[in-house]
């Protein structure tokens, strides 16, 4: 396992900014650990290769255009639109609207539930069936059956 103390000093060793005693200690550790020595050599080669690359000049407005494109992307992303919608729902001005809508949905759902379980339609009687004595249309109907039916509002 490589000691983190020496990992932190690799850049300083490659750039030759270590003190003489630190450099000697670093090289002693590097010679003892072949895996660490390979890592140091790889980093050294990569650093030299990067230094040989020519500087690339871009257009003067490159950074400005890049920032514009980033802003456009962030403003048009689905995640951003969704997060804006969620934050707008819970803003103070929309809270009343949200609660009103939720209340209306709950009331309508409860009403549909109650009407769907209403069993009153099973008690509807066919008034054309004269043998049915469970309903009386007028006073004479209620008196001409074995079990008279009391009509509401009938004083008799």
Tell me the per-residue pLDDT of 65-89, one tens digit each, with 9 for 90 and over: 999 998 888 777 777 777 777 676 6
Give yes or no for residue 108 having a pLDDT over 60.
yes
98 with 72, same domain? yes
Task: Looking at the structure, tell me whether residues 45 and 75 fall in a common domain.
Answer: no
Whether 131 and 105 map to the same domain: the answer is no
Q: Look at residue 146 and tell me if it is in a domain.
A: yes
Residues 48 and 72 grouped into a single domain: no
Q: Are residues 13 and 46 in the same domain?
A: yes
Residues 84 and 66 in one domain: yes
Q: Residues 11, 28: one domain?
A: yes
What's the DSSP call for residue 147?
S
Residues 41 and 69 in one domain: no
Q: Higher pLDDT residue, 25 or 79?
A: 25
Per the structure block, which two tokens stand in for 44?
Answer: 């050294």
Q: Are residues 70 and 100 in the same domain?
A: yes
User: Rounded to an integer, what distance in angstroms lies between the CA atom of residue 86 and that of residue 101?
Assistant: 15
Confidence at residue 94, expressed as pLDDT on a 0 to 100 scale: 62
The lowest-confidence range among 23-32, 77-86, 132-141, 142-151 is 132-141
What are 83's two structure tokens?
Answer: 């997060």
**21 vs 80, residue with greater confidence:** 21
Same structural domain, 100 and 70: yes
Model pTM above 0.85: no
Task: Please tell me whether residues 103 and 134 are part of one structural domain.
Answer: no
Buried b (16+ CB within 10 A) or exposed e, 49-70: eeeeeeeeeeeeeeeeeeeeee
Is residue 57 one of the residues assigned to a domain? Answer: no
Interaxial angle between packed helices 92-116 and 78-89, expressed in degrees from 0 to 180 and rounded to the nearest 10? 80
Task: Return the residue matching tokens 């009153």.
Answer: 120
Dist. CA 1–CA 70, nearest whole Å:
42
Please compute Rg for the chain using Cα positions. 44
pLDDT at 154: 47
Is 24 domain-assigned?
yes
For residue 80, is it within any domain?
A: yes
Domain membership of residue 35 (yes or no) is: yes
Q: Is the pLDDT of residue 21 over 80?
A: yes
Residue from 111, 141, 113 nearest 128 by CA = 141
Task: Look up the domain containing 21 and give its range.
Answer: 4-52
CA atoms of 59 and 142, how far apart (whole Å): 101
Contact 31, 25 (CB under 8 A): no
- pLDDT of 122 above 60: no
Give how many domains the chain has, as a whole number.
3
pLDDT exceeds 60 at position 19: yes
Domain co-membership, 68 together with 109: yes
């Amino acid at each position: 396992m490589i000691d983190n103390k020496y990992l932190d000093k690799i850049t300083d060793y490659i750039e030759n900014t270590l003190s003489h005693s630190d450099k000697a200690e670093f090289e002693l550790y590097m010679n003892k650990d072949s895996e660490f020595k390979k890592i140091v050599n790889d980093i050294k080669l990569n650093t030299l290769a990067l230094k040989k690359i020519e500087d690339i000049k871009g257009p003067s407005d490159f950074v400005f255009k890049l920032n514009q494109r980033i802003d456009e992307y962030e403003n048009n992303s689905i995640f951003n639109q969704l997060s804006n919608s969620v934050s707008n729902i819970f803003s103070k001005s929309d809270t009343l609207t949200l609660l009103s809508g939720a209340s209306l949905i709950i009331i309508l759902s409860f009403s549909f539930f109650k009407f769907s379980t209403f069993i009153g339609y099973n008690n509807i009687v066919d008034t054309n069936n004269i043998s049915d004595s469970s309903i009386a249309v007028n006073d004479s109907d209620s008196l001409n059956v074995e079990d008279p039916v009391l009509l509401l509002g009938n004083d008799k």
